Amino acid sequence: MRGLAGRFIRSRSGSFAPILVLAMIPLITAIGFSVDYTRAVQTKSDEQAALDAAILSITTMDTASTKAQRQVAMQASYAANGGQGTATLNAFDVSANGTATAQAMASFPMPTVFMQIARIPTVAIGVSSAVNKTPALVEATFKVTGVSGYWNKTMTLNGKMFGAAQDKPLMTIDYVYGGGTDPKGYGTTTVSKIDSLGVATVVQTQVCKVGKKAPTGVTLNTDQYGTTYYCVDTMSPGNTAGASIDVSQMAGLNLQMYVKPGNPQNLSSNDAATSNRLYSGAGYSTAAQKALDPSKYLPVEVASNTIVDIFRLVPCGETSDQAWEDGGNPVPAPVSNADFFYNVTGKCDFNKRPNNTRLTQ
């Protein structure tokens, strides 16, 4: 049978073999085109993924980076992610409020295999990508509004710099009980900023005392036990708003509370077992806005078993009232049971952190 087929094909007396060969050329070409087309579709998908990764990577570069520097970094990232050809950064703009937008494209002349029969040596592969990055927290200003209790305690704001292995303290708020027999207990609170060398600078001191008469210009308060007391604040020059902490170089932030006689002693925003002792309120722009509906801005207890993102806890351009329950009362509990009250105001701008970045194309 095999010999018969061979003789049929070699036969010169018939015309079927040439016709068969001619008929197979379009079939082979179609199959070849299909193979090259499938390769082109997969290549385009790979190029798109590489370009998306590349444009996202340049949004984490230092804020002083030029477009040319971002172009070089984007091309390197594009190649590292399997991209072929050239990636071009068309635009990278940062608006006045810190919102960043970027657009890029990539092109690659994919060599063909079968399409070369039809004199098509390459297929142009083109992809584009765009991102939008909303402003992120670059500065947080803390101001104590009232601390009480018989237990001494310290709240610390810790930050981890980009590329660093460990956190470092950026601010501490220390409370020392002043003694006395009133049910709530009042004392002295000291807010200090800590620089990169670990040197602490006092920004705010608040002294709260029990008494029926407050110094001139100081408000006399009454707590839930009927005790009258007042607090005198002393702000360091140039820091009337509170302790302004630069967090623009921080990849991560967390708040911790250490209560020496507490149970637990250590509370932390990034510890799911103790973060629910932290309370945070909605942001407001002015005291007048808050006064229109005070209950709307009351601090709310963090949900149990939650890791808190401090960057999202501090509102951009607004103030949030926050508090800690130091361990003397079980939680959940109303914020009125807390012993450590302060407010924090956020300033947002363009930042290296990848947070709040999304692909728009």
pLDDT per residue as tens digits for the range 48-79: 999 999 999 999 998 889 999 999 999 999 99
d(CA 160, CA 116): 56
Residue 271 pLDDT exceeds 90: yes
Residue 149 pLDDT exceeds 60: yes
Residue 160 pLDDT exceeds 90: yes
- Region 225-235: mean pLDDT is 94
d(CA 46, CA 54): 12
Q: How confident is the model at residue 31 (pLDDT cuts 50, 70, 90)?
A: low
Residue by residue, DSSP assigns 265-320 as SEEETT-TTTGGGEEE---BS-HHHHHHSGGGGS-EEPPSS----HHHHS-BTSEE
User: Are β-strands 250-259 and 228-235 bridged in parallel, bridged antiparallel, or unpaired?
Assistant: unpaired
Q: How confident is the model at residue 172 (pLDDT cuts 50, 70, 90)?
A: very high
Environment class of residue 160 by beta-carbon count within 10 Å: exposed (0-12), middle (13-18) or buried (19+)?
A: middle
Q: How confident is the model at residue 154 (pLDDT cuts 50, 70, 90)?
A: very high
- With a pLDDT cut of 70, the percent of the chain lying above it is 91
Side chain identity at residue 194, one-letter code: I
- Region 37-54: mean pLDDT is 92
Bridge partner residues of 255 (DSSP): 157
Rounded to whole angstroms, the maximal C-alpha distance in the chain is: 126
Residue 324 pLDDT exceeds 80: yes
pTM above 0.85, yes or no: no
d(CA 225, CA 74): 62
Q: Are 298 and 290 in contact (CB under 8 A)?
A: no
Instruction: List phi, psi (to 5°) of 283.
Output: -80, 145
Task: Order across the sheet with 86-94: list the strands.
Answer: 86-94, 100-111, 122-133, 357-359
Side chain identity at residue 141, one-letter code: T
Neighbours of 12 (CB within 10 A): 6
d(CA 253, CA 245): 11
Average pLDDT, the chain: 89
**Which one, of 43, 64, 57, 62, lies nearest residue 89 by Cα?**
57
Determine which of 1-15, 100-114, 219-233, 332-346 has the lowest per-residue pLDDT on average: 1-15
- Region 173-188: mean pLDDT is 92
Q: Are 86 and 74 in contact (CB under 8 A)?
A: no
Distances 49 to 41, 133, 208 between C-alpha atoms, Å: 13, 19, 59
Q: How confident is the model at residue 341 (pLDDT cuts 50, 70, 90)?
A: very high
Residue by residue, DSSP assigns 152-182 as -EEEEEEEEETT-SS-EEEEEEEEEE---S-
Residue 213 pLDDT exceeds 60: yes
Structure-derived torsion over alpha carbons of residues 324, 329, 333, 336, reported in degrees to the nearest 10: -60
Q: Are 254 and 158 in contact (CB under 8 A)?
A: yes
Which residues are within 8 A (CB) of 303 and not within 5 positions of it... i.e. 6 or more apart? 276
Higher pLDDT, 319 or 337: 319
Q: How confident is the model at residue 24 (pLDDT cuts 50, 70, 90)?
A: low
Neighbours of 156 (CB within 10 A): 18
Q: Are 122 and 107 in contact (CB under 8 A)?
A: no
pLDDT of residue 20: 47
Residue 292 pLDDT exceeds 60: yes
Q: Are 159 and 167 in contact (CB under 8 A)?
A: yes
Q: Which helix (H) or strand (E) holds 30?
A: helix 16-57
- Region 191-195: mean pLDDT is 96
Higher pLDDT, 67 or 20: 67
